[in-house]
Amino acid sequence: MFTWWRRFHTPFKLKPKDLWKGRSELLQRIEFGEFEYDPLWQQSYLEDYILEEKTEAIKIKFARSNADTIEEKIRDERKKMRKRQDIMREKHLINENKLLVQLSDALAKEFDMDREFVDGFMESFDGTTRELYFNLLCIKYEKPLLESDDIQMIPRTVNQQPRHYIKRSEQDLLSMWDKTIIEKNIW
């Protein structure tokens, strides 16, 4: 599918050949980061900085032109940026909702629980997706809920995938992305 508005790679899915046999597939997918937040909204902040840079370039390039020409060029760039940002944010909301539904369904199936119970528990739970998994496991086996520190002691089966993996064609935006990370406090 052609996605002209993406400057970053989409998050990866764990391949079936990379799954450990005898371990929960869902847990491995959670640890890999398949059910973590969709990063598109954060990535859309980069567009503001790109627009600033393009605006400065237009002002320099058309310095001898009249103000109306400069404003028209800036307005055109702003429209392109807003369109890209709107698409990214819309896709983010769609993806985020889809991820939550898939996670809820998968957890309910994994632990043979009622979907409404899982949804309610997810709504009130304050922790990572991995911690959610282990606490639902405790509920299934009627054990006391685990603290975050206890869950950190459980070895991971896979490492989490990197987020915000910028496309090779967009490598010139790395310094701007670093600025975005710092100013928008993304991490």
pLDDT tens by residue, 77-130: 999 999 999 999 999 999 999 999 999 999 999 999 999 999 999 999 999 999
Output the pLDDT for position 182: 93
Which H or E run includes 59?
A: helix 46-61
110, 28 contact by CB (below 8 A)? no
- Residue for token pair 């980069």: 46
In single-letter form, the type of residue at position 90 comes to E
pLDDT exceeds cutoff 80 at 76: yes
Q: What is the DSSP letter of 63?
A: T
Q: What is the band of 6 on the pLDDT scale with cuts at 50, 70, 90? A: confident
pLDDT computed for residue 162 by the predictor: 86
> What is the percent of the chain where pLDDT is above 90?
78
C-alpha to C-alpha distance for 107 and 35, rounded to whole angstroms:
11
Average pLDDT taken over every residue of the chain:
93
Q: Band the pLDDT of 2: cuts 50, 70, 90.
A: low
pLDDT of 156 > 80? The answer is yes
Could you tell me the pTM of the whole model? 0.85
Least confident of 2-6, 19-23, 105-109: 2-6
Phi, psi of 114 (to 5 degrees): -70, 135
Q: Which two tokens stand for residue 161?
A: 């995938």
Q: Is 183 exposed, middle or buried (0-12, 13-18, 19+ CB in 10 A)?
A: exposed
Residue 1 has pLDDT above 90, yes or no: no
Say yes or no to pLDDT of 70 above 80: yes
